[in-house]
Amino acid sequence: MAVAEARPESNGGSAPSGSLATALAHAARLLETRPALAERQAREILLAVPDHPEAVLILGLALRVTGKSGESRATLEKLVAGHPFWADAHYQLGSTLAALGLAEEATRALTRATELKPQMSDAWRALGDLATAGGEREAADRYYAQQIKTSVTNPALLEAAAALLDNRLAIAERLLKGFLKHFPTDVTAIRMLAEVAARIGRFADAETLLRRCLELAPSFDAARHNYALALLRQGKAADALVQVDRLLQANPHDPGYRNLKAAVLGQIGDYTETIALYEGVLRDHPNQPKVWMSYGHALKTAGRLTDGIGAYRRSIVQMPELGEAYWSLANLKTFRFAESDLAAMQGQLDRSDLGDGDRLHFHFALGKALEDAGDYARSFAHYAEANRIRRAQLGYDADENAERMRRAKALFTAEFLAARARMGCPSPDPIFIVGLPRSGSTLIEQILSSHSAVEGTMELPDLSNIALRLADRRGRNDPSHYPECLGAMDAAQLAALGEEYLVRTRIQRRTRRPFYIDKTPHNFLHIGMLRLILPNAKVIDARRHPLGACFSGFKQHFARGQSFSYGLEDIGRYYRDYVDLMAHFDRVAPGAVHRVHYEAMVDHTETEVRRLLGYLGLPFEEACLRFHENERAVRTPSSEQVRRPIFREGLDHWRNYEPWLEPLKAALGEAATRYPDPP
């Protein structure tokens, strides 16, 4: 915590010399190990030389380090008033204000420091930490990129940092790889290259780079923070938790680390501690609208609906332009907006400076609000505009998806599967619920998790992550080795993949129930792999009328994935390809997949529940019919709906929008007209 070397530019005196310089240097050194003595030394200097700016600065730091943040603030504010162009004074004041939880004031002070001294790396990092604590991911990325940019002096790294700051990722990657060929242990360059990998979704590469970075520099906390994020993005919550806890050991009150731990715990379903962490952060830093929103998500998932709504409302009060907070309310499904809410949302949409991220959320939320009001024409217009914006951001390729399914059908023939029937891990523990989102999978999960032998978890990323690793693609245009690579694996290798899945998902299990559910919808893409690596696992296909399922997905803004759902033609083709792939597995592996039609489950609940339990080899239990009494956390958009008894009113709701669904019908083809039979 050394005092910056720069002197105030307008202190009215000369730089210290002789015994005064020695005393100042000694006080600065004491800050690192004995801050109380540093405070005493600074006060002694000020008795001899009143108002000496460097002594006042040391005093302000010492007061903060010894827990006297209020006195530190008063001391540093006086220093800034007397030396308004001294960047270091503004920086230290900003750090003290941050310690006091005054995020806005701290941001202003730190920003002023960077204006006066653009190369002040510490100030950029502090701004990034504040943005992270406030959930401002894009702003944090910009600040941290500036911090990286200002922390290097090598011209090659400066050029790479500038490219990273401007999001010219291909250029940044080329420069950094070239630099690391000559200087392979430069941790700044390694971390920057990991940032490039993370931004383009290559989280496994980022993980590898950051692991090496931390091997070289174990105290590089910024790299460890990035490492934890890379692990979390890959669903490695247990590993991420280890890294976050290590960060918190050194900085237990850091709001960014506490927020990250809350996110990790949310991924593994520990919502009691997740909620407690958010409450602690918000108690210390109450003016954090995006943290209030994350807190609302956790409360909603835990079934505390009223508290969740209150948290979302608090977020909106603090940041009225935060479209995601309004969509979070709409996404409760059972929530209804007031007229004042509609006017507020429309007012935000009328702004010319609203970003696309907020804009699409407002359109989705208004679409839901107008749907509830029965104004279907205006509702559809908002849904369509929201999807247009989101689809442009994602660049989904329906042809690429169809080719992926074609390759799966070509590989997984009856003969191929029969030849490997006795391979793989024999565990019957996992139950997979697959299909399209919004097709009743959460209802099935809630019914089954009400059984004494079955534990509900969440949508688990682990099977997809295994497939991504097997694909071994360096870039989007590179060829994928999956699923064909499975054909070259022997029994031991296939069994190891099954064991890997069980190990990776073990952290999700909270009970001793013998079976557990993974309800990731797009796991239907990996049924062939499942037959090889976990041949005794059960697979349930949750299917709904294609117009109902597809339009329900079109109305939904998903937190991640489901990139096919933002265009009527895209989602229609996806549904058609999905049905075709499932029909293929019905032919080559009869009985391997149990199908549940949502409409039948609604109309003939007990019959369908008994049939479902029979497929799983489980005895019937009355609790499965009282699934709405199950108090488990539910982490999907249907969380509030499955806390009510089964209802019919949503089955044909798509008919209200039928005048606008011709593109969807055309894309579905026979998949729509022949339902519930496959085309």
Model confidence, pTM: 0.73
Angle of CA points 69, 72, 77, to nearest 5°: 125
Full domain range(s) for residue 352: 336-394
CB contact set of 461 (below 8 Å; sequence gap of 6+): 234, 235, 520
Residue 537 lies in a domain: yes
Same domain assignment for residues 383 and 403: no
Same domain assignment for residues 523 and 387: no
Cα-Cα end-to-end distance for the chain: 69
CATH number of residue 67's parent domain: 1.25.40.10
* Tokens of residue 489, six digits: 């694996």
Which of 102, 117, 132 is a domain's end point? 117
Which of 52, 86, 117 is a domain's end point? 117
* β pairing state of 515-518 and 430-435: parallel
Same domain assignment for residues 416 and 519: yes
Percent share of the chain, pLDDT over 70: 92
- SS3 sequence, 439-469? CCHHHHHHHHHCCCCEEEEECCCHHHHHHHH
Among 584, 557, 568, residue whose Cα is nearest residue 672: 568
Q: What is the pLDDT of residues 521-551, one digit of tens each?
A: 999 999 999 999 999 999 999 999 999 999 9
Which of 62, 86, 117 is a domain's end point? 117
Q: What is the pLDDT of residues 343-401, one digit of tens each?
A: 999 999 999 999 999 999 999 999 999 999 999 999 999 999 999 999 999 889 999 99
Residues 263-275 have a mean pLDDT of: 89
Residue 677 lies in a domain: no
Map tokens 């523990």 to a residue: 429
Q: What is the distance, to the nearest Å, from the Cα of residue 41 to the centroid of all Cα atoms in its chain?
A: 47
Q: What is the pLDDT of residues 49-65, one digit of tens each?
A: 898 999 999 899 999 88
The answer to whether residues 188 and 220 touch, using CB atoms and an 8 Å cutoff, is no
Domain count, the chain: 3
pLDDT score at 531? 96
Residues 141-165 have a mean pLDDT of: 78
* Tokens of residue 580, six digits: 């075709």
Same domain assignment for residues 534 and 572: yes
* Tokens of residue 478, six digits: 């590179």
pLDDT score at 647? 57
**Average pLDDT along the chain:** 89
Whole-angstrom Cα distance, residue 323 to residue 359?
7
DSSP secondary structure code for residue 636 in this structure = S
Same domain assignment for residues 364 and 438: no
**Under DSSP, is residue 539 helix (H, G, I), strand (E, B) or coil?**
strand
Percent share of the chain, pLDDT over 90: 63
Whole-angstrom Cα distance, residue 648 to residue 443?
13
- Of the pLDDT bands very low, low, confident and very high (cuts 50, 70, 90), residue 628 is confident
CATH number of residue 591's parent domain: 3.40.50.300
Position 640 pLDDT exceeds 70: no
Position 12 pLDDT exceeds 50: no
Position 660 pLDDT exceeds 90: yes
pLDDT score at 165? 84
What does R_g of the chain's alpha carbons equal in angstroms? 28
Q: How many CB atoms lie within 10 A of CB 437?
A: 22
Q: Which amino acid is at 625?
A: L
Same domain assignment for residues 366 and 452: no
Q: According to the per-residue pLDDT averaged within each range, which of 214-218, 283-287, 428-432 is highest? A: 428-432
Same domain assignment for residues 386 and 462: no
CB contact set of 392 (below 8 Å; sequence gap of 6+): none
pLDDT score at 145? 66
Residue 61 lies in a domain: yes
Residue 559 lies in a domain: yes
Position 5 pLDDT exceeds 60: no
Residues 8-32 have a mean pLDDT of: 67
CA 210 vs CA 93, 124, 206: distances in Å: 32, 21, 6
- Torsion angle, alpha carbons of 216, 221, 224, 229, to 10: -150
| pLDDT greater at residue 656 or residue 644 | 656
Same domain assignment for residues 416 and 558: yes
Residues 461-467 have a mean pLDDT of: 92
Q: How many CB atoms lie within 10 A of CB 287?
A: 14
Position 678 pLDDT exceeds 90: no
**Under DSSP, is residue 100 helix (H, G, I), strand (E, B) or coil?**
coil
Same domain assignment for residues 389 and 484: no
Q: How many CB atoms lie within 10 A of CB 445?
A: 29
Residue 438 lies in a domain: yes
Angle of CA points 657, 659, 664, to nearest 5°: 80
**Under DSSP, is residue 305 helix (H, G, I), strand (E, B) or coil?**
helix
pLDDT score at 668? 96
Alpha helices in 83-220 (DSSP H): 87-99, 103-116, 121-133, 137-151, 155-165, 169-182, 187-199, 203-216
- Of the pLDDT bands very low, low, confident and very high (cuts 50, 70, 90), residue 476 is low
Whole-angstrom Cα distance, residue 199 to residue 144?
13
Whole-angstrom Cα distance, residue 307 to residue 324?
17
* Tokens of residue 487, six digits: 């054909």
- SS3 sequence, 294-312? HHHHHHHHCCCHHHHHHHH
Q: What is the DSSP string of 589-625?
A: STTSEEEEEHHHHHHSHHHHHHHHHHHHT----GGGG
Whole-angstrom Cα distance, residue 490 to residue 488?
7
The answer to whether residues 475 and 201 touch, using CB atoms and an 8 Å cutoff, is no
**322 sits in which H/E element:** none
Same domain assignment for residues 608 and 548: yes
CB contact set of 650 (below 8 Å; sequence gap of 6+): 641
pLDDT score at 547? 95
Q: What is the pLDDT of residues 416-448, one digit of tens each?
A: 999 999 899 999 999 999 999 989 898 999 999
Map tokens 């849904």 to a residue: 383
Q: What is the pLDDT of residues 570-610, one digit of tens each?
A: 999 999 999 999 999 999 999 999 999 999 999 999 999 99
Q: Is the peptide bond before 676 cis (omega within 30 degrees of 0)?
A: yes
Same domain assignment for residues 113 and 5: yes
Q: Angle between the 35-48 and 18-33 helix axes, to the nearest 10 degrees? A: 160
Residue 138 lies in a domain: no
Whole-angstrom Cα distance, residue 288 to residue 131?
9
* Tokens of residue 569, six digits: 């033609």
Lowest-confidence segment of 94-103, 470-479, 612-621 by average pLDDT: 470-479
Q: Is the dihedral of CA 197, 199, 204, 206 positive or negative?
A: positive
Same domain assignment for residues 436 and 528: yes
Residue 305 lies in a domain: no
Residue 294 lies in a domain: no
Q: How many CB atoms lie within 10 A of CB 101?
A: 20
Q: How many residues does the chain have?
A: 679
Lowest-confidence segment of 15-24, 81-90, 288-297, 344-353 by average pLDDT: 15-24
